[in-house]
Structure formats: C-alpha cells, structure tokens
Amino acid sequence: MTSLRPWNGIPIHDAGEPLVPLVDLVRLEPHPYLSLGAPYGDQVCPFRLRRGVMARLARAQECLRRRQSNYQLAVFDAWRPVAVQAFMVNYAIRQECEARGLDPDGSGPEWEAVVLEVGRFWAPPNMHPAAPPPHSTGAAVDLTLADAAGQPLQMGGAIDAIGPVSEPDHYALAAREEPDSAAALWHGRRCLLAAVMQAVGFVQHPNEWWHFSYGDQLWAWRRGLLLAHYGRYGAPALEG
C-alpha cells in the first residue's frame, strides 16, 4: 500500500485544540470497529472530534434541518488512533481477499491488487507526524443521513465498501437517465450530504461518499491551501 498521499507534503501547524465528544448527533452504535476488537486501549470513545471541527459539524446539522427537516446526520466514526487504523487496514485486506477467494496471507499480483484497491479507501497507518491518517487527526468524520427516528437511510452502498460504488458520483449517470429510480434517490441523498457538509467548510474524500474533513492535510490539498491546521492528535506540531 502506498505510504504517502498527494496531500502529505502539506505542512501542519497544529491548532492545539482538544478532542471533544459529539453532542446532539445520532451515533451509529455499537461502534463498528470497537465491535471487531480494534485496539483503542484506554481511549475507548471514538465519537470525538477537534473542538473546531465539532462546532462545524453542529452547523452542518442545522443546515441539513433547514433543507430537509425530517433528516439528521448520523455519525459512523470520528477520531481513530493509528493503532486502530492499522487494525482496520489489515481487516479490510483480509475481508476483500476472502471475498475474491484469495489467501489473505498470500502474495502475488492478485493479492497486491487487493492491497492497492483497499489503499484507495483506507489511509496507511503512518506514525510519522508529517503524514497522519486523516482520522487520527480528529479532523475527519464518517457519517450518513438518518430519518427523524435516527434510522440510517439507504445511500446506495455501505460505509467502508471497497469499490466504485463508494465513489460520491457513482450513481450520477443512472440518476440522469432514470430520474425516478432508486439510483437517483441514492445520488440525491449523497449530493445532499455533501452539500450541507461543504456549506460549512468540510471537504469530501474523493473516493468515499461518507468521509468529510476540515483542517487536515486532505482538506488543505482539496482547497489549494498551503497549511493544515490539525496533525495526528498528540503528535508534535509541524510548522511550514
């Protein structure tokens, strides 16, 4: 798996904000990675974000309610230690290998193709402070839309699915060709989620309809900025 992303060259000057718990938002529980035994250690609350990011997420919730009063945001995952990132990368590789009938502990071109494909969606668990996985910064959040009762809506693909179905515009062509189809409904919901998040300053991961961040290197890269505001939580700050 490629060790660096295009955005990892962007300098980080960490704002020094603490992680704060998510408030007034639906949490999709039990937490999926905790349920798998991911090694959170003593830091057992993944539903946390940097204070400034949390404030923007609350604004996104308000924006959504103005546009669609019976919808709300539902958070799948937020802050993620690098040890959890490593655990989940290995888990995703094993799951995808098994789905393709490959030996998860194998090698060769087919196995390497799985690793590359998983790498489009899972950042390398890099411990270097200049190349933090986005979720380890406390600036990235995985989320979806839910109804008024807090039940997640169908979005045309599961969070963490490996493959083209996870790309934000996967259903765009089908939606244009068949405006009354399920694909059009899913595309509209993905667009709505992206619109409310982007309205308050978040950027979307290019390969994932559910992943948004504010202030990390990915955010700076997508906005053409020269400095990121959040590095790996607890790591030394890096100034450009």
pLDDT digits (tens, 9 = 90+) for 110-128: 999 999 999 999 999 999 9
Q: CB atoms < 10 A from the CB of 52, how many?
A: 18
Question: Residue 3: pLDDT band by 50, 70, 90 thresholds?
Answer: low
Answer whether 77's CB lies under 8 Å from 40's CB. no
In the chain, what are the domains?
6-223 (3.30.1380.10)
Asked if 66 contacts 72 with a C-beta cutoff of 8 angstroms, the reply is no
Residue 32: how many other CB atoms lie within 10 Å: 16
* Model confidence at 237: pLDDT above 90: no
pLDDT tier at 1, thresholds 50, 70, 90? very low
pLDDT for 147 equals 98
Q: Assess whether 98 carries a catalytic annotation.
A: no
Sort strands 71-77 and 203-204 into parallel, antiparallel or unpaired: unpaired
Entry pTM = 0.94
Mean pLDDT, rounded, for 80-101: 95
Calpha distance 127→238 (Å, rounded): 14
Q: pLDDT by residue (tens digit) across 12-45?
A: 999 999 999 998 999 999 999 999 999 998 766 8
**Which candidate in 29, 112, 208, 239 is catalytic?**
208
Checking if the pLDDT of 221 tops 80, the result is yes
Mean pLDDT of 161-174: 97
